[in-house]
Chain A
Amino acid sequence: EVQVVESGGGLVQPGGSLRLSCAASGFTFTTYWMNWVRQAPGKGLEWVANINQDASARHFVDSVRGRFTISRDNAKNSVYLQMNSLRAEDTAMYYCARLTNSGLTDHWGQGTLVVVSS
């Protein structure tokens, strides 16, 4: 069974940093892209970033480019989202999700909540 489990969310002050982790299991991790998607409270879904199988390609939404980085450790079947210079508008549930080679997001974790507030 495909499983994706996020961790690392919490309360952080504006301007602070946080690192989210995502542990994957139940599939061959090294053959899939991985995604982060977020959802602000009561709002819709927003794609944030993704990374390819060997970390040679990464893409970001404009609103986080230069502040967030995405990485992966294939030995640990894990993907990470390093978030710096956090703003109130980054407050959201952050979902990690598997991405097929065609770009389809097919399996999602349950999310980890990030709250940026003083």
Chain B
Amino acid sequence: DTQMTQSPSTLSASVGDRVTITCRASQSISGELAWYQQKPGKAPKLLIYRASSLESGVPSRFSGSGSGTEFSLTISSLQPDDFATYYCQQYNSYPYTFGQGTKLEIK
């Protein structure tokens, strides 16, 4: 199985900050990586697919990068609506696996 490791687990930041969350795969996933945002009591929402493609309707302050086994999600200027939990997921091989999540908190 491909293990996905996110860091940090918790991130405290302020509105306007630039933040980056990283995701490391235990083996190459050929860029088949997605990022999701989840708010309490809600379903996850797709933000980024194929490591760096922005889903339609997602604000451009969100961006993804990386290749091989190292990936990152960057929010260029945090907005109040961005405080949530973020998950990466690989969909290159079964079982599809998620990172453990990064909770983005208001400082």
Q: Which residues of A are at the interface with B, using a C-beta cutoff of 8 A?
A: 44-47, 50, 59-62, 95, 102-111
Contacts and interface: CB of A to CB of B under 8 A. Distances in A.
Given A44-B100, A44-B101, A46-B98, A111 B43 contact: yes
Interface residues of B, number: 24
6 contacts: A44-B99, A44-B101, A45-B101, A102-B91, A104-B50, A104-B91
Contacts of A47: 89, 95-98
**Chain B interface, >50% SS class:** loop
B44 A108 contact: yes
Among all A-B residue pairs, the 10 with the closest Cβ atoms = A103-B91, A108-B43, A47-B96, A45-B98, A61-B95, A44-B101, A104-B49, A44-B100, A59-B94, A106-B46
A106 B49 contact: yes
A111 B46 CA distance: 16
B95 A59 contact: yes
